[in-house]
């Protein structure tokens, strides 16, 4: 029999994803974690946590789990993030990235729950990044449109919220879909040549570092909109060269190209990325350089044999 709201219970959506796994690990050290994802298989078997299969677009299921576990905070790390896929499967993208957020806002309104939501630099057009929290959004692809609308739903919902925008999330996890780092390492380890764009700029973010920042923000009760990213602003091509250096692969297999030659379904911002000055003023957690992030990712890869 439950005894009302557990003051230290956090419900995490998208728990089987790269960031979701890091969040479950970080938060389970000091919170009771309810890990949720679409899959029946639990990839987040940490102490002080339980796992539930949950689809955010299923409002009834969401309401049931929120009533049962009574979380104080919900962290939404679930999203349809296939940028080109969003152009093709627009209904699915909208249902997840907007409809799912609407469901979360409704339960947070009713039960006085704080919502922590992950967003992206793709809400900006990439004309003059890195962007601050005060810069006006102007998405140039449908993924960015859905993420911006999700933010608007939260801001208009009259709830306590924290929106954390990030970019080029990378790292090592258990059975996660290939982020840029893992995709590149797979290609380089096979001796394949890869073309990487030299005209898209961001500040790549180690998922472990983002998770640590979010834990600190939750513990401090911080609300509003914050940008979290790495401290180095560079092109994808230069990031790829640093990956090759750190993991000791042949850099000559990395060839520069331009975005226009990739023929991608969705437009990509050229000068994206996020200014992290606001976050750095309030956080004790250090934001990592590419060198520091890749060093940590390399250790994780060696430990997990991913």
pLDDT digits (tens, 9 = 90+) for 49-77: 899 999 999 999 999 999 999 999 999 99
Residue 1 pLDDT: 30
Predicted confidence band of residue 88 (pLDDT cuts 50, 70, 90): very high
Residue tagged active-site, from 143, 170, 233, 237 = 143
At the topology level of CATH, where does 9-171+204-229+273-288 sit? Rossmann fold (3.40.50)
**pLDDT for residue 5:** 45
Whether the pLDDT of residue 3 is over 70: the answer is: no
Mean of pLDDT over the chain: 95
Question: Is residue 4 predicted with pLDDT exceeding 60?
Answer: no
Percentage of the chain lying above the pLDDT 70 cut:
96
pLDDT at 45 over 90: no
**Backbone phi, psi, residue 114, to 5°:** -80, 140
* CA–CA dist 283, 280 (Å, integer): 5
143 as an active site residue: the answer is: yes
Average pLDDT over residues 230-247: 98
| pLDDT given for residue 2 in this prediction | 39
Domain ranges of the chain: 9-171+204-229+273-288
Q: Which residues contact 128 (CB under 8 A, 6 or more apart)?
A: 271
Q: What pLDDT was estimated at residue 6?
A: 44
pLDDT over 50 (residue 289): yes
* Residue 84 confidence (pLDDT) above 80: yes
Query: Residue 142: what pLDDT?
Result: 98
Q: Give mean pLDDT, residues 74-91.
A: 98
Give phi and psi for 269, each to the nearest 5. Answer: -65, 140
Residue-by-residue DSSP string for the chain: ---S--TTEEEEESTTSHHHHHHHHHHTTTSEEEEEESSSS-----TTEEEEE--TT-HHHHHHHHHHH--SEEEE------HHHHHH-HHHHHIIIIIHHHHHHHHHHHHT-EEEEEEEGGGS-SSSPSBPTTSPP--SSHHHHHHHHHHHHHHTTTS-EEEEEE-SEE---SS----HHHHHHHHHHTT--EEEESS-EE--EEHHHHHHHHHHHHHHT--EEEE---S--EEHHHHHHHHHHHHT--GGGEEEE-GGGS--SS---SB--B--HHHHHH--SPPPPHHHHHHHHHHHHHHHT-
Q: Please tell me the distance from the alpha carbon of residue 133 to that of residue 264, in angstroms, as a whole number.
A: 28
Q: Worst-scoring range by mean pLDDT, 3-17, 97-111, 141-155? A: 3-17
Q: Predicted confidence band at 42 (pLDDT cuts at 50, 70, 90)?
A: confident
Strands 205-206 and 169-170, sheet pairing? parallel
């Amino acid at each position: 029999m439950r005894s009302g709201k557990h003051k230290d219970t956090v419900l995490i959506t998208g728990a089987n994803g790269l960031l979701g796994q890091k969040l479950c690990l970080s938060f389970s050290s000091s919170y009771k974690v309810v890990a949720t994802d679409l899959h029946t298989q639990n990839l987040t078997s940490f102490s002080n946590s339980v796992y539930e299969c949950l689809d955010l677009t299923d409002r009834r299921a969401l309401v049931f789990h929120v009533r049962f576990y009574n979380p104080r905070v919900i962290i939404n790390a679930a999203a349809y993030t296939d940028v080109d896929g969003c152009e093709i499967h627009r209904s699915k993208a909208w249902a997840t990235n907007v409809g799912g957020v609407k469901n979360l806002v409704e339960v947070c309104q009713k039960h006085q729950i704080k919502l922590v939501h992950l967003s992206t630099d793709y809400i900006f057009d990439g004309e003059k990044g890195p962007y601050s929290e005060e810069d006006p959004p102007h998405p140039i692809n449908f993924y960015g449109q859905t993420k911006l609308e999700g933010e608007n739903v939260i801001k208009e919902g009259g709830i306590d919220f924290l929106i954390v925008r990030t970019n080029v999330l990378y790292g090592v996890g258990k059975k996660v879909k290939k982020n840029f780092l893992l995709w590149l390492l797979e290609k380089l380890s096979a001796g394949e040549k890869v073309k990487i764009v030299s005209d898209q700029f961001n500040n790549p973010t180690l998922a472990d570092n983002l998770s640590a920042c979010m834990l600190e923000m939750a513990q401090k009760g911080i609300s509003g909109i914050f940008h979290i990213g790495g401290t180095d602003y560079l092109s994808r091509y230069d990031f790829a060269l640093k990956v090759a250096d750190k993991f000791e692969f042949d850099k000559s297999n990395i060839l520069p190209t331009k975005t226009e030659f990739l023929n991608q379904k969705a437009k990509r911002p050229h000068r994206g990325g996020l200014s992290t000055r606001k976050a750095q003023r309030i956080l004790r957690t250090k934001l990592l350089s590419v060198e520091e992030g890749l060093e940590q990712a390399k250790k994780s890869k060696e430990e997990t044999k991913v």
